[in-house]
Amino acid sequence: MAVAETGSFSQTSEQLFLTQPAISKRIAALEDELGTSLFDRIGRSVSLTEAGQALLPRAHKILLEVEDSRRAISNLSGNISGKLSIGTSHHIGLHRLPPVLRQFNIAYPDVELDIHFMDSEEACRGVEHGDLEIGIVTLPLSPIDNIETKLIWPDPLSVVVNHKHPLSKTKPVNLDMLAEHPAILPSHGTYTREVIEQAFEPLGLKLNIGMSTNYLETIKMLVVVGLGWSVLPNSMLNRELQALKVNEISLRRDLGVVWHRNRTLSNAAVAMVGCVG
């Protein structure tokens, strides 16, 4: 799987901390066992053959089953230890997780936390594909097959501008007015962007998107310097921002934990879910 992902024996060697000859020997042994070539080797380039492409998803499933079996057996001991892979967003990592991680680290010192900072959507895909055990994320608006969700923090949102924005003194503001001004929003396809778009969709309004970024701290800075309006969690509001009263909408996203419905959670993951909420 690593060779298929990297397309290189040398990169796989670095990734798995094995020598390149050891990698080549293991691939050759697998090919001998299956009686077919799994990779085409052209110069330094390596690509999957048709047989390799057929084996890849099955190999992924096999490794997930092995890992799931290890967790199930390990859980019998009752020990809370081992490696726990978590995906979370930068915003949650900054604003929600520090007290949780502090409490968890004190309570379960034998757990090795493997935390990956990424967009919530990517974290959900990582849980779905088995690359992460749990995600602490903005919850998806629509159900995802095989993904369980647990709401932890309701996260109210406000439409915000700086104090010199043309709409800062307008009370109340309506969506038509907002649509006339540049917006700075999370990227298209993110759960937070979906929340915002769903508010405008019934009125058939098209948003005037000036800039997009998935980092809420960056969006906040761009609003403060006067480059447009945005939607931010109430927890991020300060004296530099003016929250607008918008009649037609009440915005909220949900933050919480996601895990795979059909895979065994380790004792460490169960403990983390308990610490979070």
pTM of the prediction?
A: 0.82
Which of 169, 137, 172, 183 lies closest to 250 in space, CA to CA? Answer: 172
**86 and 36 in a common domain:** no
Q: What is the DSSP string of 200-258?
A: HGGGTPPP-EEEE-S-HHHHHHHHHTTS-BEEEEGGG--TT-EEE-BTT---EEEEEEE
**53 and 8 in a common domain:** yes
CATH number at residue 88: 3.40.190.10
Percentage of the chain lying above the pLDDT 70 cut: 100
The pLDDT assigned to 165 comes to 95
The pLDDT assigned to 25 comes to 94
**102 and 123 in a common domain:** yes
**246 and 165 in a common domain:** yes
**147 and 270 in a common domain:** yes
Rg (CA), the chain: 24
Q: In this structure, what token pair is assigned to residue 236?
A: 């991020």
The pLDDT assigned to 41 comes to 86
**Domains contained in the chain, number:** 3
**248 and 165 in a common domain:** yes
In what helix (H) or strand (E) does residue 138 lie, and over which residues does it extend? Answer: strand 134-138
**196 and 64 in a common domain:** no
Tokens 């406000």 map to which residue?
158
**246 and 192 in a common domain:** yes
Distance CA 187, CA 69 (A): 38
Among residues 25, 43, 75, the one where a domain terminates is: 75
- The answer on pLDDT for 261 being more than 80 is yes
- The answer on pLDDT for 43 being more than 80 is no
- The answer on pLDDT for 238 being more than 90 is yes
Among residues 55, 75, 95, the one where a domain terminates is: 75
CATH number at residue 60: 1.10.10.10
pLDDT class of 257 with cuts at 50, 70, 90: very high
Among residues 17, 41, 75, the one where a domain terminates is: 75
**161 and 241 in a common domain:** yes
**223 and 259 in a common domain:** no
**243 and 132 in a common domain:** no
Bond before 99 cis per omega within 30 degrees: no
The string of pLDDT tens digits covering residues 89-108 is 999 999 999 999 999 999 99
**30 and 14 in a common domain:** yes
Domain span at 132: 82-153+255-276
- The answer on pLDDT for 271 being more than 80 is yes
Instruction: For the chain, give the mean pLDDT.
Output: 93
Lowest mean pLDDT among 1-10, 18-27, 37-46, 132-141: 37-46
